[in-house]
């Protein structure tokens, strides 16, 4: 497997839409098992993954599939028991159920609650547990600090420790490596090796992404970087990029996700202006993106998930002077207020008004509520007096009830005067508007229903797609 200092793969153009790199075929020969593993080409050893969740479990399957003996460490006994029975608990990830079963049957995947014991028998330890935000929008280290404390007693001479969780710049070197040194009594980059390599996976396509995107790696020093790059070269089919330092690798992930947040904020600003002048922002964006240097993203109700709404604050925690980053966060979070004002204007107020919110997860197809814009949307609607019900095909009625909205049963009549789509789930295109005789307004929060046929009594408003710019399906086919 090639290890380089610069990514060689690139998208052929930026002609709008999503960019998807081709998957790389596996070119690994039959691996040679060694003990201890010291990074020799073609050799494999034992790896421990700390955090067996939506990203950690796909990594475990990937590593086991390339010949490594994998121990997954998790704090949830149910997760450990599931893996040890050969079952997949991340059911919405394509290919993962078969991958877990295969790796377990081959004897290359097990799980434990004991991080120290797992680290003591491992050549490589990969940490991928959450670092989110506290109430003051600062990094919340409680899970990562606990994970480091758990594995540190098992770190031994020759261990390679790799952080895949996105971190503020400098944390690998200045926060976590020193703690391992204190507990283990060993010296980082001399007795054991430490590197950062950001996870670059997309929920619902994790195993596919592992064969697509260049793997970025940066060590505390040359030997740490080389050892981590050798590990990834043995388990990944994509290109491995050995960067100059852990800090460069940390910054690369923050730059990637913050770029998308800023780009979406710009699209949302364009959408606001498009509303004002009565044009279709999606038409404008498609036209602008026909110039290959333009790759404007799509507007919407804001940004959710573990990554894009979180990692810009990691940058700001170290560099508060980044005004554009901070402004973009405010713009994207402000989309909920803009939607509320549009709905209020369309209905003449919200006091006592039944409103149905469709889509509670942060993105359609992913059962995850982290930073979902549906939660502040429901809260703000209720604050203004609306009677809010909600539906999401991925959530049970009990789970929807926890969002402070009344569960709506799909396909049943309801008295909603407004419907707000918060995700672009394809199911919503099959909505039968005859079930909503009082409906007056459809606010299309992801511009995914712009061509559905609406009753004449129902007004449409998208994000930067005013009613006059909308093209119903029957008109589009003429």
pLDDT in tens, 420-471: 999 999 999 999 999 999 999 999 999 999 999 999 999 999 999 988 776 6
CB 473 within 8 A of CB 454: no
pLDDT band at 154 (very low <50, low <70, confident <90, very high): very high
CB 21 within 8 A of CB 200: no
Query: Is the predicted pLDDT of residue 287 greater than 60, yes or no?
Result: yes
Quick one: average pLDDT of 283-304? 94
Structure tokens, 394: 């991925």
SS3 category, 423: coil
Query: Is the predicted pLDDT of residue 31 greater than 60, yes or no?
Result: yes
For residue 10, what pLDDT is reported?
46
400 to 297, 362, 363, 370, 381: CA distances (angstroms): 29, 13, 15, 14, 16
Q: Beta-carbon neighbour count of residue 380 at 10 Å?
A: 17
For residue 183, what pLDDT is reported?
98
For residue 1, what pLDDT is reported?
60
Query: Is the predicted pLDDT of residue 476 greater than 80, yes or no?
Result: no
Model confidence over 307-346: pLDDT tens digits?
999 999 999 999 999 999 999 999 999 999 999 999 999 9
SS3 category, 434: helix
429 to 123, 299, 476: CA distances (angstroms): 51, 19, 16
Quick one: average pLDDT of 165-182? 98
Q: Which residues pair with 219 in a beta bridge?
A: 195
Q: What's the burial of 235, exposed, middle or buried (CB within 10 Å: 0-12/13-18/19+)?
A: buried
Query: Is the predicted pLDDT of residue 267 greater than 50, yes or no?
Result: yes
Q: Beta-carbon neighbour count of residue 228 at 10 Å?
A: 31
For residue 137, what pLDDT is reported?
95
Nearest to 410 by CA among 378, 441, 432, 384: 432
Q: What's the burial of 409, exposed, middle or buried (CB within 10 Å: 0-12/13-18/19+)?
A: exposed
pLDDT band at 14 (very low <50, low <70, confident <90, very high): very low
Asked if the bond preceding 36 is cis, omega within 30° of 0, the reply is: yes
Which H helix or E strand runs over 72?
A: strand 69-73
Q: Which residues pair with 442 in a beta bridge?
A: 419, 460
27 to 4, 200, 249: CA distances (angstroms): 17, 21, 26
Q: Which residues pair with 71 in a beta bridge?
A: 48, 110
Q: How far apart are CA 202 and CA 416, in angstroms?
A: 34
Query: Is the predicted pLDDT of residue 20 greater than 70, yes or no?
Result: no
Model confidence over 61-92: pLDDT tens digits?
999 999 999 999 999 999 999 999 999 999 88
Structure tokens, 137: 């929008």
- The packing angle between helices 142-151 and 177-184, to 10°, is 30
CB 118 within 8 A of CB 151: yes
For residue 136, what pLDDT is reported?
95
Q: How far apart are CA 245 and CA 255, in angstroms?
A: 15
Query: Is the predicted pLDDT of residue 12 greater than 80, yes or no?
Result: no
Model confidence over 214-246: pLDDT tens digits?
999 999 999 999 999 999 999 999 999 999 999
- Mean pLDDT for all residues in the chain: 94
For residue 15, what pLDDT is reported?
45
- Cα–Cα–Cα angle for 41, 44, 50, rounded to 5 degrees: 125
CB 412 within 8 A of CB 397: no
pLDDT band at 18 (very low <50, low <70, confident <90, very high): low
Dihedral sign, Cα of residue 305, residue 309, residue 314, residue 315 = positive
Nearest to 368 by CA among 299, 312, 306, 300: 306
Q: How far apart are CA 216 and CA 239, in angstroms?
A: 9
For residue 189, what pLDDT is reported?
96
Euclidean distance between the first and the last CA atom of the chain, given in angstroms as a whole number: 53
SS3 category, 268: helix
49 to 38, 70, 210, 218: CA distances (angstroms): 18, 7, 16, 18
For residue 13, what pLDDT is reported?
45
For residue 202, what pLDDT is reported?
86
For residue 114, what pLDDT is reported?
98
Quick one: average pLDDT of 382-400? 97
Tell me how long the chain is. Answer: 478
Residue of 19 and 44 predicted with greater confidence: 44
DSSP H stretches of helix in 71-159: 77-84, 96-105, 115-120, 142-151
- The domains found in the chain, sorted by start residue, are 30-244 (3.40.50.720), 245-478 (3.40.50.720)
- Cα–Cα–Cα angle for 220, 221, 223, rounded to 5 degrees: 120
Residue of 478 and 366 predicted with greater confidence: 366
SS3 category, 158: coil
Q: How far apart are CA 116 and CA 299, in angstroms?
A: 46
């Amino acid at each position: 497997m090639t290890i380089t200092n610069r990514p060689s793969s690139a998208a052929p153009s930026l002609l709008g839409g999503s960019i998807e790199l081709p998957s790389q075929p596996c070119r690994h020969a039959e691996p040679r098992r060694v003990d201890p593993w010291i990074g020799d080409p073609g050799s494999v050893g034992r790896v421990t993954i700390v955090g067996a969740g939506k990203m950690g479990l796909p990594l475990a399957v990937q590593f086991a599939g390339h010949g490594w003996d994998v121990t997954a460490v998790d704090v949830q006994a149910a997760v450990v028991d599931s893996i040890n029975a050969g079952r997949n608990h991340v059911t919405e990830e394509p290919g993962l159920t078969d991958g877990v079963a295969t790796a377990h049957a081959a004897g290359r995947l097990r799980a434990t609650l004991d991080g120290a014991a797992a680290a003591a028998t491992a050549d490589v330890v990969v940490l991928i547990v959450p670092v989110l935000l506290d109430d003051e929008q600062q990094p919340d280290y409680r899970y990562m600090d606990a994970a480091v404390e758990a594995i540190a007693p098992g770190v031994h001479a020759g261990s390679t420790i790799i952080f895949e969780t996105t971190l503020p710049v400098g944390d690998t070197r200045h926060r976590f490596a020193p703690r391992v040194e204190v507990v283990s009594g060993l010296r980082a980059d001399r007795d054991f090796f430490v590197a950062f390599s950001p996870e670059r996976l997309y929920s619902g396509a994790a195993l596919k992404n592992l064969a697509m995107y260049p793997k970025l790696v940066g060590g505390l020093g040359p030997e740490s970087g080389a050892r981590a790059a050798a590990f990834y070269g043995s388990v990944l089919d994509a290109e491995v990029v050995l960067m100059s330092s852990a800090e460069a690798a940390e910054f690369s992930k923050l730059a990637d996700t913050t770029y998308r947040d800023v780009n979406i904020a710009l699209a949302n600003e364009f959408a606001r202006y498009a509303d004002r002048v009565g044009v279709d922002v999606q038409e404008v964006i498609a036209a602008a993106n026909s110039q290959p240097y333009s790759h404007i993203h799509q507007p919407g109700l804001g940004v959710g998930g573990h990554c894009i709404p979180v990692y810009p604050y990691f940058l700001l925690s170290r560099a508060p002077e980044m005004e554009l980053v901070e402004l973009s966060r405010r713009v994207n979070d402000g989309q909920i207020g803009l939607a509320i004002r549009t709905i209020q204007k369309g209905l003449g107020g919200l006091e006592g008004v039944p409103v149905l919110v469709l889509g509670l997860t942060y993105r359609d197809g992913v059962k995850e509520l982290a930073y979902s814009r549906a939660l502040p949307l429901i809260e703000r609607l209720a604050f203004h007096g609306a009677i809010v019900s909600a539906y999401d095909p991925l959530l049970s009625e009990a789970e929807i009830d926890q969002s402070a909205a009344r569960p709506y049963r799909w396909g049943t009549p309801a008295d909603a005067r407004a419907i707000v789509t918060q995700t672009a789930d394809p199911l919503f295109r099959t909505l039968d508007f005859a079930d909503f005789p009082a409906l007056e307004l459809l606010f299309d929060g992801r511009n995914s229903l712009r061509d559905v046929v609406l009753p004449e009594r129902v007004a449409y408003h998208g994000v930067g797609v005013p009613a006059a710019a909308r093209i119903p399906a029957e008109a589009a086919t003429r």
